[in-house]
Amino acid sequence: MNILEIYKFLDKLSPFELQESWDNSGLLIGEFSQDIQQIALSIDIDEALIDSLKKDTLLITHHPIIFGGLKQLEFSKYPANLIKKMIQKNISNIAMHTNFDQTHLNNYVAEEVLGYKIIKKDGFVAYLEINEDFDTFTKKVSRAFGLPHAKCVKCSEIVKIAALTTGSGCSLMKSIQADCFLTGDVKYHDAMEAKSINLSLIDIGHYESEHFFAQIMLKHLKNLGLEVIIASSKNPFTYI
């Protein structure tokens, strides 16, 4: 099977045209005519992951390794250092980022990871009916994502409705219509803004909330007749 055939399958699963204008999903490294024997799945790309892969592998990732304006390939710097190793091993890459967030990832995390039904979807935001004590809900969320501690902004004792956006979603705060917002990469000024608009926040981590990408994709790709493996990159953060 060549990359073009796989690309068309992925496009039906989660259309690339759904990606945001600033995103860079699609075929990033490789050529459509290349024949593929193995597919590897990962949220990101790191050196250890590349070293572990066979030559001629198609690597399908959630995050694009080429993001924004790439003006040079200086091989001592990121991401050129990783791209060089990929080219040397003839490893191709397709990224499925914001399109997959909208069609699959947020739904899976809400229903399969957290165990709540979605009562409304609004683009990247899934709304869940909770009706639980804030502290109880927060501990449940922490366990679901394997977080060593809960970083949160508590604005009320009860969570009736929660909103969820995996990855980094604080730019959406002003549009959230809920008691509590679950997202990753919460910064200090995000917390201050949330306090000012009485919106509780729970930081669910970027890697922690999106590494499910590989297992979701595996379910859809296992019937293609190719070897498909999960070979995920490691969380760059260490909790001590």
| pLDDT score at 140 | 97
Q: Does residue 157 sit in the same domain as residue 192?
A: yes
| Beta-carbon count within 10 A of 183 CB | 27
pLDDT at 91: 97
Tell me if 187 is assigned to some domain.
yes
- Are residues 115 and 129 part of one domain? yes
pLDDT bucket at 40, cuts 50 / 70 / 90: very high
The domain that holds 138 is classified in CATH as 3.40.1390.30
**Residue 67: inside a domain, yes or no?**
yes
Long-range contacts of 217-224 (CB under 8 A, 24+ apart): 217/41, 217/60, 217/96, 218/41, 220/13, 221/9, 221/39, 221/41, 221/60, 224/1, 224/6, 224/9, 224/39
**CA 201, CA 204: separation in Å to the nearest integer?**
9
Q: Who has greater pLDDT, 68 or 52? A: 52
The residue segments making up the domain with residue 84 are: 3-96+211-230
- Same structural domain, 31 and 77: yes
pLDDT for residue 205 = 96
**Rounded Cα gap, residues 37 and 58, in angstroms:** 8
Would you state the pLDDT for residue 69?
77
What does the pLDDT look like over 195-220, one tens digit per residue? 999 999 999 999 999 999 999 999 99
Residue 14 located in a structural domain: yes
Residue 127 lies in a domain: yes
Regarding whether 222 and 178 lie in a shared domain, the answer is no
Q: Same domain, yes or no, for 185 and 224? A: no
Across the chain, what does the average pLDDT equal?
Answer: 95
pLDDT-based confidence at residue 9 (cuts at 50, 70, 90): very high
Of 72-81, 105-114, 158-167, which range is least confident? 72-81
- Count of residues in the chain: 240
**Same structural domain, 199 and 104:** yes
| Cα angle value 117/122/128 (rounded, 5°) | 25
Domain count of the fold of the chain:
2
Would you state the pLDDT for residue 71? 82
pLDDT above 90 for 72:
no
> Is residue 173 in some structural domain?
yes
Least confident of 60-64, 133-137, 145-149, 197-201: 145-149
Q: What percentage of the chain has pLDDT greater than the value 70?
A: 100
What pLDDT, in 10s, does the model give residues 90-111?
999 999 999 999 999 999 999 9
